[in-house]
Amino acid sequence: MTDPHLEHSIFGGHQEAHDGPHGTDQPEVLRRADRHRRPARKPRRRRGRRLGCLFIALVIVAVAAFAAYTGLRPVVDGFLESDDYPGPGTGEVQIVVNDGDTGRAIGATLEKADVVKTAKAYLDAAATDTRAAAIQPGSYTMKKQMTAKAALAILVDSANRSVPRVTVREGLWKSEVFAALSKGTGVPVAEYTAAAKNPEALGLPAGAKGNVEGYLYPATYEFPVKATAVQQLKIMVGQAIAELQKAGVSEADYQKTLIVASIVEGEAGVADRGKVARVVENRLDNPTGPTVGLLQMDSTVNFALQKRGNLTKTEYDSAKSNPYDTYAHKGLPPGPISSPGAKAIEAAANPTAGPWFYFVTVNYDTGETLFAATQAEHDRNNAQRQAWCDANKPKCEGGG
C-alpha cells in the first residue's frame, strides 16, 4: 500500500495534475500560458483595419496622380510635340503686314492664318535673322502650314512684296488724280470724289476752303494695303503740306503759294520755274503795269474749261465768265489749278529775282522759253515762236 503523501511528494501533486486539459487542477504555469494564447485572435481585426487604410491611401494617390496628369498633360505634350510645322506647306494664302507691325504682331497674323503653327515658332526664327527687323508693309503670298523659317524667308525678300503703288505726276487736276489713283488701287473714282467732300478728315488747312485741288501732292505712293480713299487722300495732303513747310512757307501763305505754284507747273514745262514764278509775281504786284494786273495764263483757261491742249478762240471766249479765266479777271484765280510738285512749290516760295513780265515758249519740241521785261522784247520773242509754229503746224497755237 502506497502512502498517498509520499506519491504526492515524488510526482508533484495528485494524479489529476497529469490529466492535462481534462483535469481540474492544472499547474499555474499552464494556466498563465493559456491566458496569453487566447487573446491572440484580436490582431486579425487590426490587420483588417491596416489593409483598409492602405487601400484608401492607394485610391487617394491614384486620384492625385490622375489629376496631376490631366493638369500637366499640355505641358508634357508641349515638350514632346514641336511648335513648328514640318513644311513645306500647301495651298495659297495672302498675308498682310501693316505699317508699324511688330514681330509679335506678324507672328500672330501668321498663326491666325495657319501659315505657321505658333507665333512662338516665328519669333524664334526671326530672332536668329537680322533681316526680320526690316520687313516692309505689304501683301505677301504664302502657303498654309509652312515652317516658320520658310515663312520668314518670304517676308524678308522684297521681291515677294505687293503693295498698291500709284504714280501721280505733276500738274494733274484733282479729277485726273482720282482717275490715276483708282487705276492703281482699284478704289472707285466715286469714293475719291466723296472723300474730297470731307476736308477735315483729309487734314486740309482752313485756307483751302474745303477744296482739295492743289493739295494732292504728286509722287509715287505705296499706300497701305486696303487703304480707303480718305486715307489715301489724307496721305497726299499731308505730303503737300510737308513740302510747303520744307520750302519755308507759313500756314497763312499755303493757299497763295499753291495757287502760284500750280500756275508755274501748268506753264513752265521745262522752262526755268523760278523765272515763271517771278513773271506771275511781277504781274500781281503791278496792277498798272504792262498787263494791268492780268496774269493772262492759258493754263488757267484750260482749267476753267476742264479741257487739255490748245484752245480755239471760241473756247477762250466761252471762259470769260469763269473766275479762273485770268485773261478776263485780274489777280490770282480762286484756288490752285493743279497739283504742283516740289520744284514748282520752291519756285513759288522763292521766285528768281528779275524784271520779267513776259515769257513765251519758242520751240515746243525742246521747250525753249524766252523771257522779256518789255512788250517790244516780248513781241520779238513771240515772232520767233510764230515762225516755229508756221513750220510745225498743228503742234502749237496760242502763247504765254
Name the nearest CA neighbour of 226 among 191, 193, 198, 200.
191
Mean of per-residue pLDDT scores for the chain: 86
Q: Nearest-5° angle of CA 134, CA 140, CA 144?
A: 115
Cell of 35: 491566458
255-259 long-range contacts (CB < 8 A, ≥24 apart) are 255/205, 255/207, 255/208, 255/209, 255/335, 255/336, 256/332, 257/345, 257/348, 257/349, 258/214, 258/215, 258/336, 258/340, 258/345, 258/348, 259/214, 259/332, 259/333, 259/335, 259/336, 259/337
Element (H, E) at 239: helix 229-246
Asked whether residue 94 falls in the same domain as residue 195, the answer is: no
Within-domain flag for 398: no
Q: How confident is residue 30, by pLDDT bands cut at 50, 70 and 90?
A: very low
Quote the CA–CA distance of 75 and 98 in Å, as a whole number.
33
How do residues 112-135 score in pLDDT, each as one tens digit? 999 999 999 999 999 999 999 999
Where among 162, 186, 211 does a domain terminate? 162
Do 206 and 153 share a structural domain? no
Query: Which of 31-45, 150-164, 337-351 comes out lowest in average pLDDT?
Result: 31-45
The tens digit of pLDDT for each residue in 12-21 reads 444 444 444 4
Same domain, 133 and 171: no
Q: Are residues 201 and 176 in the same domain?
A: yes
CB atoms within 10 A of CB 125: 20
Quick one: how far is CA 193 from the chain centroid?
Answer: 24
Domain-terminating residue out of 162, 192, 218: 162
Closest CA to 307 of 195, 185, 173: 173
pLDDT at 277 over 80: yes
Q: What predicted TM-score, i.e. pTM, was given to this entire model? A: 0.70
Q: According to the model, what pLDDT value does residue 108 have? A: 96
334 in a structural domain: yes
- Mean pLDDT over 10-32 rounds to 46
- pLDDT confidence of 46, banded at 50, 70, 90? low
Domain count, the chain: 3
Same domain, 283 and 369: yes
Whether 48 is in a domain gets the answer no
The answer, yes or no, to whether residue 59 has pLDDT greater than 60, is yes
Q: How do the residues of the chain divide into helix, strand and coil, expressed in percent and rounded to 5?
A: 55, 10, 40
Give tens-digit pLDDT for 61-92.
Answer: 666 666 666 665 555 555 557 899 998 999 99
**Neighbouring residues of 394: CB distance < 8 A, sequence distance ≥ 6:** 310
Q: Give residue 28's pLDDT.
A: 53
Q: How confident is the model at residue 271 (pLDDT cuts 50, 70, 90)?
A: confident
Q: How does strand 90-97 pair with strand 138-144? A: antiparallel
pLDDT tens digit sequence for 222-247 = 998 889 999 999 999 999 999 999 99
Within a domain: residue 53? no
Q: Nine-digit cell at 149?
A: 523659317
Boundary of a domain, candidates 246, 278, 294: 246
- Whether 238 and 294 share a structural domain: no
Is the pLDDT at 44 greater than 90, yes or no? no
Whether residue 163 contacts residue 223, with contact meaning beta carbons closer than 8 Å, is answered with yes
In a domain, 148, yes or no: yes
> Which amino acid is located at 90 in the chain?
T
Segment (H or E) for 254: helix 254-268
Same domain flag for 213 and 196? yes
Q: Are residues 233 and 308 in the same domain?
A: no
**pLDDT band at residue 8 under the 50/70/90 scheme:** very low
Distance of CA 45 to the CA centre of its chain: 80
Is 375 within a domain? yes
- In the chain, the percentage of residues whose pLDDT exceeds 70 is 80
- Contact between 299 and 267 (Cβ < 8 Å): yes
C-alpha cell at 324: 479762273
Q: Name the helix (H) or strand (E) containing 222.
A: strand 220-222
Q: How far apart are CA 135 and CA 133, in angstroms?
A: 6
pLDDT, residue 102, reads 95
Range of the domain at 140: 90-162
286 shares a domain with 356:
yes
Q: With left for phi above 0 and alpha for psi between -120 and 50, is residue 325 left, alpha or beta? A: beta
Residue 34 lies in a domain: no
> Does 232 lie in the same domain as 199?
yes
Q: Are residues 229 and 171 in the same domain?
A: yes
Query: Is the torsion defined by CA of 376, 377, 383, 385 positive or negative?
Result: negative
Asked if the model's pLDDT at residue 31 lies above 60, the reply is no
Are 144 and 114 spatial neighbours (Cβ–Cβ below 8 Å)?
Answer: yes
pLDDT of residue 60: 79
| CATH assignment of the domain containing 133 | 3.30.1490.480
Strand partners, 138: 97
Q: What pLDDT, on the 0 to 100 scale, is given for residue 6?
A: 37
If you average pLDDT over residues 208-225, what whole number do you get?
95
Domain presence at residue 126 = yes
279 and 332 part of one domain: yes
Mean predicted confidence (pLDDT) in 139-146: 95
